[in-house]
Amino acid sequence: MVTVRDRRAGYHDKVITTPQTDQPHETPVLHTDQLAVHSQLERIVQHHQQHPWRKPCPGHTRKAFSRLQEMLAIAPRPVILDSFCGTGMSTAILAAQFPEALVVGIDQSTHRLEKHQASGDKNYVLLQAEAEPFWCCLADAGATLEAHYLLYPNPWPKAAQIKRRVHGHGAFPVLARLGGRLEMRTNWAIFAREFARAAALIGCEGAITRLSVDAPPMTLFERKYGLRGHPLWQFRGKFSN
Protein backbone atom coordinates (compact mmCIF):
# COMPACT_ATOMS: atom_id res chain seq x y z
CA MET A 1 0.00 0.00 0.00
CA VAL A 2 1.15 3.52 -0.75
CA THR A 3 0.07 6.45 1.37
CA VAL A 4 -0.57 9.97 0.11
CA ARG A 5 -1.79 13.01 2.03
CA ASP A 6 -4.22 15.23 0.23
CA ARG A 7 -6.18 18.17 1.67
CA ARG A 8 -8.86 18.59 -0.98
CA ALA A 9 -12.26 19.40 0.53
CA GLY A 10 -14.56 16.60 1.67
CA TYR A 11 -13.28 13.10 1.05
CA HIS A 12 -9.70 14.36 0.63
CA ASP A 13 -9.39 15.74 4.18
CA LYS A 14 -7.54 12.69 5.41
CA VAL A 15 -4.72 10.27 4.66
CA ILE A 16 -5.74 8.23 1.65
CA THR A 17 -4.32 4.96 0.36
CA THR A 18 -4.89 2.73 -2.60
CA PRO A 19 -3.50 -0.63 -3.73
CA GLN A 20 -1.14 -0.79 -6.68
CA THR A 21 -2.67 -1.51 -10.05
CA ASP A 22 -1.16 -1.63 -13.52
CA GLN A 23 -4.17 -0.75 -15.68
CA PRO A 24 -3.43 1.61 -17.39
CA HIS A 25 -0.21 2.72 -15.63
CA GLU A 26 -2.15 3.75 -12.54
CA THR A 27 -0.25 5.49 -9.75
CA PRO A 28 -1.76 5.32 -6.24
CA VAL A 29 -3.76 8.51 -5.68
CA LEU A 30 -6.77 7.70 -3.48
CA HIS A 31 -8.38 5.08 -1.29
CA THR A 32 -10.72 2.85 -3.24
CA ASP A 33 -12.08 -0.67 -3.09
CA GLN A 34 -12.58 -0.59 -6.86
CA LEU A 35 -9.86 -1.86 -9.21
CA ALA A 36 -11.78 -1.87 -12.51
CA VAL A 37 -14.69 -0.18 -14.24
CA HIS A 38 -17.79 -0.65 -12.09
CA SER A 39 -19.74 -3.75 -13.12
CA GLN A 40 -23.06 -1.89 -12.88
CA LEU A 41 -22.04 1.18 -14.89
CA GLU A 42 -23.91 0.38 -18.10
CA ARG A 43 -27.05 -0.70 -16.25
CA ILE A 44 -27.05 2.52 -14.24
CA VAL A 45 -26.57 4.80 -17.25
CA GLN A 46 -29.22 2.99 -19.27
CA HIS A 47 -31.65 3.22 -16.35
CA HIS A 48 -31.13 6.97 -16.18
CA GLN A 49 -31.71 7.22 -19.93
CA GLN A 50 -35.03 5.42 -19.57
CA HIS A 51 -36.09 7.32 -16.45
CA PRO A 52 -35.17 11.01 -16.85
CA TRP A 53 -33.86 12.72 -13.74
CA ARG A 54 -36.26 15.27 -12.32
CA LYS A 55 -35.36 17.32 -9.29
CA PRO A 56 -36.88 20.73 -8.50
CA CYS A 57 -34.45 23.42 -9.55
CA PRO A 58 -33.15 25.42 -6.57
CA GLY A 59 -34.00 29.11 -6.58
CA HIS A 60 -30.39 30.28 -6.80
CA THR A 61 -29.81 28.04 -9.82
CA ARG A 62 -32.91 29.39 -11.60
CA LYS A 63 -31.66 32.89 -10.88
CA ALA A 64 -28.24 32.06 -12.32
CA PHE A 65 -29.81 30.59 -15.44
CA SER A 66 -31.99 33.69 -15.90
CA ARG A 67 -28.87 35.83 -15.73
CA LEU A 68 -27.26 33.75 -18.47
CA GLN A 69 -30.36 34.09 -20.64
CA GLU A 70 -30.27 37.86 -20.22
CA MET A 71 -26.61 37.99 -21.24
CA LEU A 72 -27.22 35.91 -24.36
CA ALA A 73 -30.27 37.98 -25.31
CA ILE A 74 -28.05 41.06 -25.36
CA ALA A 75 -25.08 39.41 -27.11
CA PRO A 76 -25.85 36.00 -28.69
CA ARG A 77 -22.76 33.81 -29.09
CA PRO A 78 -21.58 30.21 -28.63
CA VAL A 79 -21.58 28.98 -25.04
CA ILE A 80 -18.84 26.99 -23.37
CA LEU A 81 -19.78 25.57 -19.98
CA ASP A 82 -17.23 24.95 -17.24
CA SER A 83 -19.07 22.82 -14.67
CA PHE A 84 -17.74 22.49 -11.10
CA CYS A 85 -15.41 25.40 -11.90
CA GLY A 86 -14.28 25.97 -8.30
CA THR A 87 -12.33 29.23 -8.16
CA GLY A 88 -12.90 29.85 -11.87
CA MET A 89 -9.24 29.51 -12.84
CA SER A 90 -10.17 27.19 -15.71
CA THR A 91 -13.04 29.47 -16.76
CA ALA A 92 -10.69 32.40 -17.26
CA ILE A 93 -8.21 30.21 -19.16
CA LEU A 94 -10.96 28.96 -21.47
CA ALA A 95 -12.16 32.52 -22.06
CA ALA A 96 -8.70 33.49 -23.29
CA GLN A 97 -8.58 30.42 -25.55
CA PHE A 98 -12.06 31.01 -27.06
CA PRO A 99 -12.61 34.78 -27.34
CA GLU A 100 -15.61 34.33 -29.66
CA ALA A 101 -17.56 32.36 -27.02
CA LEU A 102 -19.21 33.15 -23.71
CA VAL A 103 -17.54 30.89 -21.15
CA VAL A 104 -19.81 30.13 -18.19
CA GLY A 105 -18.29 28.77 -15.00
CA ILE A 106 -20.72 27.26 -12.51
CA ASP A 107 -20.07 26.04 -8.99
CA GLN A 108 -22.35 25.55 -6.00
CA SER A 109 -19.80 27.02 -3.57
CA THR A 110 -19.86 30.77 -3.06
CA HIS A 111 -16.73 30.37 -0.96
CA ARG A 112 -14.76 28.95 -3.88
CA LEU A 113 -16.13 31.44 -6.40
CA GLU A 114 -15.14 34.37 -4.18
CA LYS A 115 -11.52 33.25 -4.45
CA HIS A 116 -11.51 33.93 -8.19
CA GLN A 117 -8.69 36.05 -9.54
CA ALA A 118 -10.20 37.95 -12.45
CA SER A 119 -8.43 38.13 -15.79
CA GLY A 120 -8.70 40.94 -18.28
CA ASP A 121 -11.06 38.98 -20.52
CA LYS A 122 -14.69 40.09 -20.59
CA ASN A 123 -16.19 37.01 -22.27
CA TYR A 124 -16.76 34.88 -19.18
CA VAL A 125 -19.02 34.82 -16.17
CA LEU A 126 -19.05 32.86 -12.93
CA LEU A 127 -22.43 31.75 -11.59
CA GLN A 128 -23.31 30.19 -8.27
CA ALA A 129 -25.49 27.23 -9.25
CA GLU A 130 -25.89 23.48 -8.87
CA ALA A 131 -24.55 21.86 -12.00
CA GLU A 132 -27.13 19.15 -12.67
CA PRO A 133 -30.25 21.36 -12.37
CA PHE A 134 -28.44 24.00 -14.43
CA TRP A 135 -27.89 21.44 -17.20
CA CYS A 136 -31.61 20.68 -17.13
CA CYS A 137 -32.46 24.38 -17.37
CA LEU A 138 -30.28 24.66 -20.46
CA ALA A 139 -31.72 21.54 -22.07
CA ASP A 140 -35.34 22.45 -21.32
CA ALA A 141 -34.74 25.86 -22.92
CA GLY A 142 -33.44 24.16 -26.07
CA ALA A 143 -29.91 25.51 -25.58
CA THR A 144 -26.86 23.78 -27.00
CA LEU A 145 -23.21 24.06 -26.04
CA GLU A 146 -20.13 24.65 -28.12
CA ALA A 147 -18.20 22.70 -25.50
CA HIS A 148 -18.52 21.43 -21.94
CA TYR A 149 -15.65 21.00 -19.50
CA LEU A 150 -15.74 18.81 -16.38
CA LEU A 151 -12.36 19.27 -14.77
CA TYR A 152 -11.55 17.04 -11.82
CA PRO A 153 -15.05 16.25 -10.60
CA ASN A 154 -15.28 14.55 -7.21
CA PRO A 155 -14.45 10.87 -7.95
CA TRP A 156 -16.44 9.42 -5.02
CA PRO A 157 -13.88 6.59 -4.89
CA LYS A 158 -15.81 3.86 -3.06
CA ALA A 159 -17.57 1.39 -5.34
CA ALA A 160 -20.85 1.97 -3.46
CA GLN A 161 -20.66 5.65 -4.47
CA ILE A 162 -20.93 5.01 -8.23
CA LYS A 163 -24.25 6.89 -8.53
CA ARG A 164 -22.67 9.98 -6.99
CA ARG A 165 -20.02 10.19 -9.72
CA VAL A 166 -20.84 12.57 -12.55
CA HIS A 167 -21.29 9.71 -15.06
CA GLY A 168 -23.41 7.68 -12.61
CA HIS A 169 -25.68 10.59 -11.73
CA GLY A 170 -29.27 10.64 -12.94
CA ALA A 171 -28.67 13.88 -14.86
CA PHE A 172 -25.75 12.56 -16.91
CA PRO A 173 -27.87 11.72 -20.00
CA VAL A 174 -28.95 15.39 -20.12
CA LEU A 175 -25.50 16.17 -21.52
CA ALA A 176 -26.54 14.49 -24.78
CA ARG A 177 -29.26 17.12 -25.23
CA LEU A 178 -26.69 19.88 -24.83
CA GLY A 179 -24.37 18.45 -27.48
CA GLY A 180 -21.01 19.89 -28.47
CA ARG A 181 -17.54 18.85 -27.45
CA LEU A 182 -17.03 17.23 -24.05
CA GLU A 183 -13.84 17.19 -22.01
CA MET A 184 -13.25 15.62 -18.60
CA ARG A 185 -10.02 15.45 -16.62
CA THR A 186 -9.17 13.33 -13.59
CA ASN A 187 -6.23 11.88 -11.70
CA TRP A 188 -7.90 8.44 -11.40
CA ALA A 189 -7.57 6.18 -14.44
CA ILE A 190 -10.59 4.04 -13.55
CA PHE A 191 -12.76 7.15 -13.36
CA ALA A 192 -11.56 8.15 -16.84
CA ARG A 193 -12.40 4.74 -18.29
CA GLU A 194 -15.83 4.75 -16.67
CA PHE A 195 -16.54 8.23 -17.97
CA ALA A 196 -15.53 7.30 -21.51
CA ARG A 197 -17.78 4.24 -21.49
CA ALA A 198 -20.73 6.18 -20.03
CA ALA A 199 -20.22 9.00 -22.54
CA ALA A 200 -20.34 6.50 -25.42
CA LEU A 201 -23.66 5.18 -24.10
CA ILE A 202 -25.22 8.65 -24.39
CA GLY A 203 -23.81 9.32 -27.85
CA CYS A 204 -20.43 10.92 -27.19
CA GLU A 205 -17.55 8.98 -28.72
CA GLY A 206 -14.08 9.99 -27.66
CA ALA A 207 -10.71 8.91 -26.40
CA ILE A 208 -8.64 8.99 -23.22
CA THR A 209 -5.12 10.38 -23.29
CA ARG A 210 -2.58 11.08 -20.60
CA LEU A 211 -1.82 14.76 -20.10
CA SER A 212 1.73 15.84 -20.73
CA VAL A 213 3.67 16.78 -17.63
CA ASP A 214 4.59 20.00 -19.45
CA ALA A 215 0.96 21.02 -20.08
CA PRO A 216 0.02 24.24 -18.24
CA PRO A 217 -2.48 23.40 -15.46
CA MET A 218 -6.07 24.53 -15.94
CA THR A 219 -7.14 24.19 -12.30
CA LEU A 220 -5.56 24.39 -8.87
CA PHE A 221 -6.21 20.67 -8.43
CA GLU A 222 -4.42 19.91 -11.69
CA ARG A 223 -1.42 21.96 -10.56
CA LYS A 224 -1.34 20.18 -7.19
CA TYR A 225 -1.71 16.69 -8.62
CA GLY A 226 0.93 17.38 -11.25
CA LEU A 227 3.42 18.56 -8.65
CA ARG A 228 2.79 15.37 -6.69
CA GLY A 229 3.57 13.25 -9.71
CA HIS A 230 0.04 11.91 -10.25
CA PRO A 231 -0.73 10.74 -13.79
CA LEU A 232 -3.46 13.00 -15.17
CA TRP A 233 -6.03 11.65 -17.61
CA GLN A 234 -8.09 13.51 -20.18
CA PHE A 235 -11.21 12.35 -22.02
CA ARG A 236 -12.16 14.28 -25.15
CA GLY A 237 -15.23 13.49 -27.20
CA LYS A 238 -17.99 14.97 -29.28
CA PHE A 239 -21.69 14.29 -29.42
CA SER A 240 -22.92 13.04 -32.77
CA ASN A 241 -26.14 15.08 -32.73
For 204, phi then psi, to 5°, come to -115, 100
Q: 210 in a domain, yes or no? A: yes
pLDDT band at 170 (very low <50, low <70, confident <90, very high): very high
Average pLDDT over residues 69-78: 97
20 within a domain of the structure (yes/no): no
- 200-235 pLDDT tens trace: 999 999 999 999 988 899 999 999 999 999 999 999
Residue 6 is assigned to a structural domain of this protein:
no
Residue 180 pLDDT greater than 50, yes or no: yes
Average predicted confidence (pLDDT) for the chain: 89
Proportion of the chain above pLDDT 90, given as a percent: 82
Q: Is the pLDDT of residue 21 over 90?
A: no
**Is there a domain that residue 53 lies in?**
yes
Question: Is 116 part of any domain?
Answer: yes
The pLDDT value given to residue 22: 35
Q: Give the 3-state DSSP-derived string for the chain, with helices as H, strands as E and coil as C.
A: CEEEEECCCHHHCEEEEECCCCCCCCCCCCCCCCCCCCCCHHHHHHHHHHCCCCCCCCHHHHHHHHHHHHHHHHCCCCEEEEECCCCCHHHHHHHHHCCCCEEEEEECCHHHHCCCCCCCCCCEEEEECCHHHHHHHHHHCCCCCCEEEEECCCCCCCHHHHHHCCCCCCCCCHHHHHCCEEEEEECCHHHHHHHHHHHHHCCEEEEEEECCCCCCCCCHHHHHHHHCCCCCEEEEEEECC
The gap from C-alpha 94 to its chain's centroid, in whole angstroms, comes to 14
- Report the candidate in 137, 148, 150, 16 with the shortest Cα–Cα distance to residue 65: 137
163's CB contacts (< 8 A; 6+ apart) are 44, 169, 170
In a domain, residue 89? The reply is yes
Question: Residue 184: pLDDT above 60?
Answer: yes
In a domain, 16, yes or no: no
How many Å apart are CA 36 and CA 39, to the nearest integer? Answer: 8
What pLDDT sits at residue 27? 54
Q: CATH number, domain at 227?
A: 3.40.50.150
The reply to whether the predicted model has a pTM over 0.85 is yes
Mean pLDDT calculated for residue range 81-110: 97
Segment 152-166, tens digit of pLDDT: 999 999 999 999 999
pLDDT score recorded for residue 120: 86
Provide the pLDDT for residue 28: 58
Residue 209 domain flag: yes
- Number of independent structural domains in the chain: 1
Position 183 confidence tier, pLDDT thresholds 50, 70, 90: very high
Owning domain of residue 196: 38-239
